[in-house]
């Protein structure tokens, strides 16, 4: 009898689930591949979903829908539509999906996961704090971190060891963030797997792993409440990152003087206040956002540029010659050299275009049903994903899009399909910081060293899907420039 009831309940669930996917939403609803009950279109996605979804766009168009299990998801592959939704109709596309992974840990506090009016308030506070952070101080801190990186690379080169770009570039971006947010120096000898960096690095890596591949339970409506409880009770990684931020708030408060701004943390304390648990959670979530959104993204970009320079030695030489002549005898690149080194800037842009590190950026969600200018209907609570790979490889916007060619950004500075930091009011809040950080590290590395593969062959360019699209780990030989 009980078994029969379970079978009937299951059949009812499957039928109800099928109905929710097959019912007509509107005459102008988006087309998309056929979803099956429960799993939706997940069965059609491989471990490189950005490529599958780029292929699907040739059949279903520039904007189409898939079901990630129960989550109605809109895939946008066209820059004009991205502009329409993220700029023109921004108010309706402001939120993130309300799924357990987004809620867990921060309870929608901070910059990345907050919603609607809360987000507007948070973004204003963070924007204000970042603008107030003394610019001279940022230049100096990046300068110091680059000195440490180059010093370490020189030691590795002279010892004849192989250089592990992922390890040292992550250490560089992590140390820069430590200095920016906490005004703390990380010693050159410190291992990212031990010491103070490790306290944050280890849980961060686990959070990346959890988020990177996504969870079926996030998108299966029936499983969401249990999944949220599971995350809260059994996974502690996010809380380790948040608690690290809290510990730093209390450390800062011991010596805090509202008249003196030592770092971003002081400014966040001033802007949010620290009287309530809510304010403390807002600060620690913001700190956690900066580490999670701003360390791996910049280091993976740097790692990919280095990889491309090994595989395209002619561009490596062009970049070196450009920087050498721009410096005119000086032995160090500073941020103000950027104007006189357009090829290095193009190199970094072309790498972000050719190998977008963030396959879908961060998902957004619709607050209400809406029609786009082209008449397409998008329902309330739909998840919106921008397919950055499809934007980058679109022949309408780029000549020979499948060719790596840094010269393409030399003559035309802007291209509407180039938006690695997203666009509109909720774009990447750290884009200036990231571009300064990447420029200053990359140009000084190119000035000091030639990068070569270990076996003289090309380095594998394929990427593994995750929160960021990383290349397979590789090491390289550094050769000192005379
Ligand atoms: C190459 C490096 C980076 C890339 C490609 C990148 C890209 C992005 C993208 C695509 C988004 C999603 C925006 C949207 O929802 O439309 C984003 C959001 C964000 N990024 Fe970055 N980012 C980078 C570096 C950084 C750095 C260094 C920081 C911190 C200093 C940072 C902090 C953030 C934050 C806090 C958000 C959430 C913004 C919000 O929800 O209002 N990012 N980033």
List, in sequence order, every residue forming a beta bridge with 65; answer none if it has no partner: 74
- Alpha carbons 244 and 178: distance in angstroms, whole number: 12
Sequence-ordered list of residues with C-beta below 8 angstroms from that of 61, at least 6 positions apart, any chain: 31
pLDDT at 284 over 80: yes
- Identify the residue with better confidence: 121 or 194: 121
Owner of token pair 């910059």: 111
Q: What is the mean pLDDT of the chain?
A: 93
**Strands across the sheet containing 63-68:** 63-68, 71-76, 383-386, 364-365
Give which of 81, 291, 137, 124 is closest to 202, Cα–Cα.
Answer: 291
105: confidence class by pLDDT, cuts 50, 70, 90: confident
pLDDT of residue 244: 94
Give the position, in ligand 1's atom list, of the atom nearest the Cα of 364: 15
In order of 274, 311, 469, the CA distances from 460 in angstroms are 49, 9, 14
206: confidence class by pLDDT, cuts 50, 70, 90: confident
pLDDT at 465 over 90: no
Report how far ligand 1's centroid is from the alpha carbon of 112 (Å): 8
Percent residues over pLDDT 90 in the chain: 82
Judge whether 453 and 478 are in contact, CB under 8 Å: no
Ligand 1 lining (C-beta closer than 6 Å): 111-112, 123, 289-290, 293-294, 297-298, 301, 357-358, 361-362, 364, 420-422, 426-430, 433-434
Judge whether 273 and 143 are in contact, CB under 8 Å: no
Judge whether 460 and 294 are in contact, CB under 8 Å: no
Judge whether 67 and 21 are in contact, CB under 8 Å: yes
Helices (H), 61-194: 79-83, 100-103, 116-132, 135-159, 165-182
Give which of 35, 31, 33 is closest to 14, Cα–Cα.
Answer: 35
Percent residues over pLDDT 70 in the chain: 99
Mean pLDDT of 257-274: 92
pLDDT of residue 237: 87
411: confidence class by pLDDT, cuts 50, 70, 90: confident
SS3 of residue 10 by DSSP: helix
Query: Among 133-142, 306-315, 448-457, which stretch is predicted with the lowest mean pLDDT?
Result: 133-142
Q: Give 345-383 pLDDT, tens digit per residue.
A: 999 999 999 999 988 999 999 999 999 999 999 999 999
Counting beta carbons within 10 angstroms of the beta carbon of residue 53, is it exposed (0 to 12), middle (13 to 18) or buried (19 or more)? buried
ipTM above 0.90, yes or no: yes
Judge whether 384 and 93 are in contact, CB under 8 Å: yes
The distance from CA 166 to its chain's CA centroid, rounded to whole angstroms, is 16
DSSP-derived letter for residue 35 is: P
pLDDT of residue 413: 66
pLDDT at 468 over 90: no
SS3 of residue 86 by DSSP: helix
Structure tokens at 437: 């950080």
- DSSP structure string for 422-443: --STTS-TTHHHHHHHHHHHHH
Report how far ligand 1's centroid is from the alpha carbon of 127 (Å): 13
Is 428 a known ligand-binding residue?
yes
DSSP-derived letter for residue 460 is: P
pLDDT of residue 192: 81
Structure tokens at 82: 């991205």
Mean pLDDT of 70-74: 97
Structure tokens at 163: 């250089």
pLDDT of residue 288: 95
- Indicate which residue's Cα is closest to atom 6 of ligand 1: 421
Pocket test for ligand 1, best of 133, 145, 245, 297 (most atoms within 8 A of CB): 297
214: confidence class by pLDDT, cuts 50, 70, 90: confident
- Indicate which residue's Cα is closest to atom 14 of ligand 1: 427
Report how far ligand 1's centroid is from the alpha carbon of 126 (Å): 13
pLDDT at 155 over 70: yes
Query: Among 126-130, 266-270, 287-291, 423-427, which stretch is predicted with the lowest mean pLDDT?
Result: 126-130
pLDDT at 75 over 90: yes
pLDDT at 182 over 80: yes
88: confidence class by pLDDT, cuts 50, 70, 90: very high
235: confidence class by pLDDT, cuts 50, 70, 90: confident
Judge whether 366 and 93 are in contact, CB under 8 Å: yes
pLDDT of residue 135: 65
432: confidence class by pLDDT, cuts 50, 70, 90: very high
Structure tokens at 381: 């609570």
- Identify the residue with better confidence: 194 or 445: 445
């Amino acid at each position: 009898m009980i078994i029969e009831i379970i079978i009937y309940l299951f059949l009812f669930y499957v039928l109800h689930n099928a109905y929710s996917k097959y019912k007509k939403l509107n005459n102008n609803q988006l087309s998309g591949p056929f979803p099956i009950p429960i799993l939706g279109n997940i069965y059609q996605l491989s471990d490189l979903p950005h490529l599958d979804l780029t292929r699907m766009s040739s059949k279903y168009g520039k904007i189409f829908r898939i079901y990630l299990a129960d989550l109605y998801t809109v895939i946008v592959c066209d820059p004009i539509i991205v502009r329409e939704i993220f700029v023109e109709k921004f108010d309706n596309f402001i939120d993130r999906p309300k799924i357990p992974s987004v809620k867990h840990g921060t309870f929608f506090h901070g910059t990345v996961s907050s919603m609607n009016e809360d987000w507007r308030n948070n973004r204003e506070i963070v924007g204000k704090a970042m603008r107030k952070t003394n610019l001279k101080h940022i230049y100096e801190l990046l300068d110091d971190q680059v000195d440490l990186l180059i010093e370490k690379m020189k030691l590795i080169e002279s010892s004849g060891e192989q250089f592990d770009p992922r390890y040292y570039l992550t250490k560089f971006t992590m140390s820069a963030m430590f200095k920016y947010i906490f005004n703390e120096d990380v010693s050159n000898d410190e291992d990212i797997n031990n010491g103070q960096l490790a306290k944050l690095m280890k849980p961060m890596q686990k959070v990346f792993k959890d988020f990177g591949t996504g969870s079926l339970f996030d998108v299966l409506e029936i499983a969401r409440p249990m999944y949220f409880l599971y995350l809260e009770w059994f996974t502690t990684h996010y809380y380790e990152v948040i608690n690290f931020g809290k510990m730093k708030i209390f450390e800062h408060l011991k010596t805090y003087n509202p008249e003196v701004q030592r770092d971003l943390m002081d400014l966040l304390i001033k802007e949010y206040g620290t009287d309530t648990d809510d304010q403390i959670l807002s600060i620690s979530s913001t700190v956690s956002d900066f580490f999670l959104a701003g360390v791996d993204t910049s280091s993976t970009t740097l790692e990919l540029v280095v990889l491309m320079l090994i595989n395209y030695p002619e561009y490596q030489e062009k970049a070196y010659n450009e920087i050498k002549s721009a410096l005119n005898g000086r032995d160090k690149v500073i941020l103000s050299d950027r104007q006189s080194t357009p090829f290095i800037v193009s190199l970094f842009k072309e790498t972000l275009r050719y190998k977008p590190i963030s396959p879908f950026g961060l998902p957004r969600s619709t607050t209400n049903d809406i029609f786009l200018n082209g008449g397409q209907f998008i329902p309330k609570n739909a998840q919106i994903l921008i397919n950055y790979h499809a934007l980058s490889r679109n022949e309408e916007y780029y000549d020979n899009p499948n060719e790596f060619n840094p010269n393409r950004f030399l003559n035309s500075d802007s291209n509407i399909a180039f938006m690695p930091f997203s666009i509109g009011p909720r774009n990447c809040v750290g884009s200036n910081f990231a571009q300064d950080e990447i420029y200053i590290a990359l140009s000084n590395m190119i000035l000091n060293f030639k990068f070569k593969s270990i076996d003289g062959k090309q380095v594998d360019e394929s990427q593994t899907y995750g929160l960021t699209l990383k290349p397979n780990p590789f090491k390289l030989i550094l050769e000192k420039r005379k």
